[in-house]
Amino acid sequence: MAKQSTIGYREILSELQAKTYKPVYFLSGEEPYFIDLIADYILNNVLAESEREFNQYVYYGKDVQLKTVLENARRFPMMAQYQVIVVKEAQNIASFDDLANYMQHPQPSTILVFCYKKKADARKKFVTEVAKNGVFFNSDKLYDSQIPSFIQNYMRGKAVQIDEKSTQLLADYIGADLHRLVNELDKLIMTKPATVKMITTDLVEKNVGISKEFNDFELKSALIQKDVYKSNMIAFHLSQSKTFALNVTISVLYAYFSNLMVYYYIQDRSKMNVAKELGVNPFFVDEYALGARNYNAWKTMSIISLLREYDAKSKGVGNNTTSNSGAELLKELVFKILH
């Protein structure tokens, strides 16, 4: 079986930047962002612009057969060291059995890239052969808990600082849609005044359109504090927003209260250990200490059940009152959490 986890996207990009190329890159998985990131780097950087007309080809899986791709891959480049062939939407190709044979003697002057946007069957022979002589990369979707770290790492790579609150705000608002998230981060970088050293919630509100006062992050904070007035005010304004989605709000609250349930069982409650156990930034550990003071374990379990119930209601399950809008459901939910 191929060793799918031996190389990550950062390692692949590092090798490409060092001009260390492999004959075949099979980029598979359910997270398209990392697949596109690697493929785009190869398309934009391996060949000089003057070499691309005769040596760079992009095919689409629904329009091409693997036999045609491999026949072209065996050709030599014209007046260049390499030719680049990228097959997008490669999951639409019926069979990759012939790729295993090609991998026995791949053309060293061809860089062949498959963008296979679903999980590949690791038992297939072609996967094993690609992993031996090329690059087999599995692009997994990030968990919600990994999004803040992704944001911080991305901004660090761009030599831009972003504060913890803005990071969490973006993570809660945009979630794991990495293409959209990166677009918003790039927008923040481009619009940041040169004199400003750090991205703050003010810049996020201005350039991304997230209200720094009425959002899921602030609602969660108000509920943790058991601030009845503030919780209801934020819930009302949040529900009036054009971008309001009750399922997203519930997801943010569910992540917090699920972690709070885990918090009760942590023996070592030092900040770094709690952060490690919960998979959160140490900046947010105090939220769990406060939540544990305001909600006991039984109430926390009850809240988790409520969140599941209202998630189902938001999808029309067990909701017999057809007039219940998302705003009304949120109002009910907030009341039941607080009381």
Pick left, alpha or beta for residue 168 (phi over 0 → left; psi -120 to 50 → alpha; otherwise beta): alpha
CB 112 within 8 A of CB 23: yes
pLDDT band at 33 (very low <50, low <70, confident <90, very high): very high
pLDDT band at 2 (very low <50, low <70, confident <90, very high): very low
Chain-centre distance for alpha carbon 56: 29
Largest Cα separation within the chain, whole Å, is: 74
What is 216-310+318-338's CATH topology?
A: Zinc Finger, Delta Prime; domain 3 (1.20.272)
pLDDT for 6 equals 55
CB 253 within 8 A of CB 307: yes
Question: SS3 sequence, the chain?
Answer: CCCCCCCCHHHHHHHHHCCCCCCEEEEEECCHHHHHHHHHHHHHHCCCHHHHHHHEEEEEHHHCCHHHHHHHHCCCCCCCCCEEEEEECHHHCCCCHHHHHHCCCCCCCEEEEEEECCCCCCCCHHHHHHHHHCEEEEECCCCHHHHHHHHHHHHHHCCCEECHHHHHHHHHHHCCCHHHHHHHHHHHHHHCCCCCCEECHHHHHHHHCCCCCCCHHHHHHHHHCCCHHHHHHHHHHHHHCCCCCHHHHHHHHHHHHHHHHHHCCCCCCCHHHHHHHHCCCHHHHHHHHHHHHHCCHHHHHHHHHHHHHHHHHHCCCCCCCCCCCHHHHHHHHHHHHHC
Region 204-209 average pLDDT: 84
pLDDT in tens, 225-236: 999 999 999 999
Regarding predicted confidence, which is higher, 194 or 305?
Answer: 305
pLDDT in tens, 252-309: 999 999 999 999 999 999 999 999 999 888 888 999 999 999 999 999 999 999 999 9
Q: What is the mean pLDDT of the chain?
A: 91
What is 144-208's CATH topology?
A: Helicase, Ruva Protein; domain 3 (1.10.8)
User: Token match 């939910």: residue?
Assistant: 333
Token readout for 335 is 């009341």
Tell me the CA end-to-end span of the chain in Å, nearest whole number: 54
CA dihedral of residues 67, 73, 75, 80 (deg, nearest 10): 160
The set of residues, in sequence order, having a beta carbon less than 8 Å from that of 302 and lying 6+ positions away, is none
Cα separation, 155 vs 150, in Å, equals 9
Neighbouring-strand partners of residue 110: 83
User: Token match 């770094």: residue?
Assistant: 272
pLDDT in tens, 294-336: 999 999 999 999 999 999 988 887 665 544 688 899 999 999 9
Among the listed residues 38, 91, 102, 45, the one whose alpha carbon sits nearest the alpha carbon of residue 64: 91
Percent of the chain exceeding pLDDT 70 equals 96
The set of residues, in sequence order, having a beta carbon less than 8 Å from that of 98 and lying 6+ positions away, is 66, 67, 70
pLDDT band at 1 (very low <50, low <70, confident <90, very high): very low
pLDDT band at 118 (very low <50, low <70, confident <90, very high): very high
Going from N- to C-terminal start, the domains of the chain cover 9-139, 144-208, 216-310+318-338
User: Token match 């831009």: residue?
Assistant: 160
CATH of the domain spanning 9-139, picked from 3.20.20.80, 3.40.50.620, 3.30.870.10, 3.40.50.300 = 3.40.50.300
pLDDT for 3 equals 41
CA torsion sign for 166, 171, 172, 174 is positive
Region 146-155 average pLDDT: 92
Cα separation, 52 vs 56, in Å, equals 5
